[in-house]
């Protein structure tokens, strides 16, 4: 019998585990030698879009956008895993 997961666990995953996982993933990839220009490409795209709009964002916008992108990927994979697990 498969029970429904408690909603508190979902919020813990979304607000604590996924952001920490994204930050750790960025750190590990940098330590393993991935070039920063490749790793931060999603964030640089957001920064370029903001520059096209006439804003002058700092480099930290690219870093935060990259971590946000990785957070979204981790959340999508986690939710897909949970949906697959509950369907079986």
pLDDT at position 22: 96
Q: Is residue 55 part of a domain?
A: yes
Q: How many domains is the chain partitioned into structurally?
A: 1
Q: Is the pLDDT of residue 88 over 80?
A: no
Q: Is residue 62 part of a domain?
A: yes
- Rounded CA-CA distance 3/16 in Å is 23
Q: DSSP letter at 54?
A: T
Task: Give me the percent of the chain exceeding a pLDDT of 70.
Answer: 93
Structure pTM? 0.85
Q: How many CB atoms lie within 10 A of CB 86?
A: 11
Q: Is residue 42 part of a domain?
A: yes
Residue 69's domain comprises 35-88
């Amino acid at each position: 019998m498969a029970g429904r997961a408690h909603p508190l666990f979902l919020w813990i995953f979304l607000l604590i585990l996924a952001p920490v996982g994204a930050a750790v993933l960025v750190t590990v990839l940098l330590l393993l030698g991935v070039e920063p220009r490749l790793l931060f490409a999603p964030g640089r795209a957001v920064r370029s879009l903001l520059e096209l709009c006439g804003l002058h964002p700092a480099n930290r916008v690219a870093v935060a956008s990259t971590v946000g992108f990785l957070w979204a990927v981790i959340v999508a994979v986690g939710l897909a895993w949970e949906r697959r697990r509950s369907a079986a």
